[in-house]
Amino acid sequence: MNIIPTPHDRFFRYAMSVPRLAEEFFKKHLPEKILSQLDLKTLELCPQTYVDEHLKLSQVDALFKVKMKGQMVFLYCLGEHLSRPDRYIPFRKNKYNIHIWDDYLKECESNGKKDAPLPLIINLIFYNGKEPYPHSLDFKDLFSGPKELIEELLNKPAQLIDVYRMPDDIRPELRWTRILEFFMKNAKKRDFLRGFQKEIYTLKLIDAEGGGDFVIACMKYALNAVDATAKKELIEIAKQNLSKELGDKVVTIADSLREEGFKKGIQEGVQQGMQQGEFRLFLAQLKRKFAHVPRKYMTLLQNADENSLLRWGERIIDAATLKEIFTA
């Protein structure tokens, strides 16, 4: 007798592919406030699976698309059949959700839809272990630490440090942070050199405190950001005001960046020429097969990188429609 290697996987996915069963399943298990807003007649099983390869013997999933008041949402059902329940199911659920959103955004981008809002994902966990599930399904319960801090950090947006709206900090005891924020905020501004001259003394203090490597990192960042004229002035200011060791390093970095820029320019020129050739060839093949290429696909082609052109080119032989070529 042949043994089915993953009977739970095959049976669960088959069952959820039966339209009537899937519709009944969600009618039974979804909260009424959600169910009342769904149009289950638009329910569609997606082919993707997001379970990690090493967990496929113990987990299976089914992803559906459905309309909610005219908007597309996902219903994601994760099945677990471990003999010992996995307390990290909330973590895995979040990880799978991220993958679903990531694939969705890639598809939107390939179709020319940038900055698309994320669709809601409604999660259900289907458990058929050998004992009642004993763990919390609240993601916050996986963490150790003060409960009030966990609640605050996981329920509120991330703290934003917007250096472009932040006034320059003049507190001397925080000079390392001030210099970091100064360079990040001002390196690409036209009046950067004026502010840089004011901060030279602070850079010398940081060097004296053993922060020479940090000063050099700041200088390298600035040299990458400013134009050629400002770069010369920046090097001179550094040579005149910083230690000889740091000044020499700044000159060496500037020479190295100049050489790297020259090589990069040559390489990009060659790559651009090759990519333009691939673009023209691919466009000619499309026009020969489909006669007309709509503007939305022309836009995709014009913004495509080399890998995208190669991927789409492989599909042109078997594709019956343009959509089949450009779908992610």
Token pair listed for 223: 């040299």
Backbone angles phi, psi at 47, to 5 degrees: -75, -20
Residue pair 74/102 in contact by the 8 Å Cβ criterion = no
* pLDDT of amino acid 5: 47
Per the DSSP assignment, residues forming a β-bridge with 74 are 65, 121
Domain range annotation of the chain: 7-155, 172-242, 264-326
Query: Going residue by residue through the chain (328 aa), what tens digit of pLDDT does each one get?
Result: 344 445 666 788 888 889 999 999 999 999 999 999 999 999 999 988 887 766 665 668 889 999 999 999 999 998 876 667 888 989 989 999 999 999 999 999 888 888 899 999 999 998 887 888 899 999 999 999 999 999 999 988 888 888 878 777 667 788 999 899 999 998 888 889 988 998 999 999 999 999 999 999 999 999 988 888 888 889 999 999 999 999 899 988 888 877 665 555 444 443 454 456 667 777 788 787 787 778 787 777 777 777 777 777 778 777 888 888 887 5
**C-alpha to C-alpha distance for 29 and 38, rounded to whole angstroms:** 13
The torsion of the CA quartet 218, 261, 188, 207, rounded to 10 degrees, works out to 10
